[in-house]
Structure 1
């Protein structure tokens, strides 16, 4: 997910060309690592342990 810049204008345009695919991969990774985790609403409404 690192976005190294080669130092030219063309490299900046290439970076944005791949952004949709990078977002898709990031979402797939987030889905993978959150398997079995509580839903965000449960975290907010759940009991607090101080």
Structure 2
């Protein structure tokens, strides 16, 4: 059992979620290949023209 400030606990949970999502993204990149910046911008609907 640990006593932790609720704000610190929330930060820890957010950090763990982010690390998990980054690991999933890295795994997907390794399995499916990486996207170029142009592909990412097109996927997000960003027009840099």
TM-score in same-fold range (> 0.5):
no
Larger radius of gyration: 1
More relative contact order, 1 or 2 (CA 8 Å, 6+ apart): 1
What band does the TM-score fall into relative to the shorter chain? 0.3 to 0.5
TM-score (norm 1): 0.40
The TM-score with structure 2 as length reference comes to 0.41
